[in-house]
């Protein structure tokens, strides 16, 4: 899969192009991209995606932007898995936001050689969002029919996934995603506070400060050939420990003594144990962590971890 951070100087082979943010890559997104790949094969086109970084709402209204479900690396991994051959990552900044609708259509035609387009039915584009799906038709693009994917008679969307995660309903989130919600990132050196408390943790770098969920969870951690290690994770700001200004994902792997520094790990959220809490003393915190581990072990012992169908 080729990833382009800038628009190509000259157009390549004709494309079937999906355009969107694809945050979370839920079952609706997956159906859309599978439809794109099927169309590309039938029309002898190359399946491609145009996505945006940051999310447009993070650019226009950063204080009110939705929580991120996935970072760019995670999205790219899903694109490749589905079979996308080219990805155009557009830096959503002031110049890009100023491109008018007709100029945007010209970019698709002249720089990307897009032949067929697949977007959501409510897709808007161009400065002030004046461009609509009908504009693709009137400008000669082949508009691929958008598949509708519902769950419990309601359309699957990133907003539904966020709401499920925020409320702690991991079961619903799993049903909407077709898999357990996960976060991936690089293990960084921390202050070693977990080790000092008797519970060493892998501190995972979070690229965005507004996660879709917080709290303490039973999770599965995978890295390299180590798949699905039973673990306990805290995602939050560690309110008991002073001097921690930013979001942290800390994972304590049960019955594990290896060194993961610098490794890229994948964390699946399986079960919510509790909300993040502030404790009056470190001893109280240690007692609670020990209890969290007991709850996590009980959860893992009771589950049959088949992949969601």
Mean pLDDT of 25-47: 96
Query: For domain 2-154, which architecture applies?
Result: 3-Layer(aba) Sandwich (3.40)
Task: Retrieve residue 111's tokens.
Answer: 């720089």
In this predicted structure, the answer to whether residue 197 has a pLDDT above a threshold of 80 is no
Model pLDDT, residue 286: 87
Confidence of residue 258 (pLDDT cuts 50, 70, 90): confident
Looking at per-residue confidence, does 197 or 282 come out higher?
282
Q: Collapse the DSSP code of 251 into the 3-class scheme (helix H, G, I; strand E, B; otherwise coil) and give the result.
A: strand
In this predicted structure, the answer to whether residue 24 has a pLDDT above a threshold of 70 is yes
Model pLDDT, residue 239: 58
Model pLDDT, residue 47: 98
* Strand ranges of the sheet holding 2-4, from the earlier edge strand across to the other edge: 2-4, 86-91, 46-53, 15-19, 114-118, 142-143
Model pLDDT, residue 306: 47
Model pLDDT, residue 308: 45
In this predicted structure, the answer to whether residue 64 has a pLDDT above a threshold of 70 is yes
In this predicted structure, the answer to whether residue 208 has a pLDDT above a threshold of 80 is no
DSSP structure class, residue 110: I
What are the tens digits of pLDDT across the range 116-175? 999 987 889 999 899 999 999 999 999 998 877 899 989 999 999 999 999 999 999 999
Mean pLDDT of 65-92: 94
Helices then strands, each counted (H, E), the chain: 10, 14
Q: Collapse the DSSP code of 234 into the 3-class scheme (helix H, G, I; strand E, B; otherwise coil) and give the result.
A: strand
Task: Retrieve residue 45's tokens.
Answer: 């086109």
Mean pLDDT of 195-223: 85
* Per-domain residue ranges of the chain: 2-154, 180-302
pTM score, whole prediction: 0.86
Q: Does domain 180-302 have CATH number 3.40.140.10?
A: no
Q: Cα separation of 193 and 195, whole Å? A: 5
3-state SS, 170-200, equals: HHHHHHHHCCCCEEEEEEECCCCHHHHCCCC
Looking at per-residue confidence, does 225 or 231 come out higher?
231
Task: Retrieve residue 184's tokens.
Answer: 């991936």
């Amino acid at each position: 899969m080729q990833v382009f951070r800038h628009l190509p100087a000259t157009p390549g082979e004709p494309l079937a192009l999906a355009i969107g943010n694809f945050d979370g890559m839920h079952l609706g997104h997956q159906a859309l991209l599978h439809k794109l790949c099927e169309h590309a094969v039938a029309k002898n086109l190359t399946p491609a995606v145009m996505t945006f970084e940051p999310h447009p709402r993070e650019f226009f209204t950063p204080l009110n932007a939705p929580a991120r479900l996935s970072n760019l690396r995670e999205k790219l991994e899903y694109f490749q898995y589905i079979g996308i051959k080219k990805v155009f990552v557009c830096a959503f900044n002031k110049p890009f936001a100023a491109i008018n609708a007709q100029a945007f259509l010209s970019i698709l035609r002249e720089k990307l050689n897009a032949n067929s387009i697949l977007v959501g039915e409510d897709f808007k584009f161009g400065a002030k969002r004046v461009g609509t799906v009908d504009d693709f038709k009137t400008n000669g693009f082949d508009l691929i029919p958008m598949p509708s994917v519902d769950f419990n008679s309601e359309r699957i969307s990133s907003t539904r996934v966020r709401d499920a995660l925020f409320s702690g309903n991991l079961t619903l989130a799993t049903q909407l995603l077709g898999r357990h919600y996960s976060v991936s990132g690089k293990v960084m050196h921390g202050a070693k506070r977990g080790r000092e408390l008797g519970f060493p943790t892998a501190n995972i770098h979070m690229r965005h400060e507004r996660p879709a969920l917080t709290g303490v969870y039973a999770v599965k951690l995978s890295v390299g050939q180590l798949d699905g290690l039973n673990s306990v994770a805290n995602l939050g700001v560690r309110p008991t420990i002073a001097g921690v200004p930013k979001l942290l994902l800390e994972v304590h792997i049960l019955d594990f003594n290896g060194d993961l520094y610098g490794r890229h790990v994948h964390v699946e959220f399986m079960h919510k144990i509790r909300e993040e809490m502030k404790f009056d003393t470190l001893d109280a915190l240690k007692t609670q962590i020990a209890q969290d581990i007991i709850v996590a072990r009980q959860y893992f012992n009771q589950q049959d971890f088949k992949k969601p169908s």
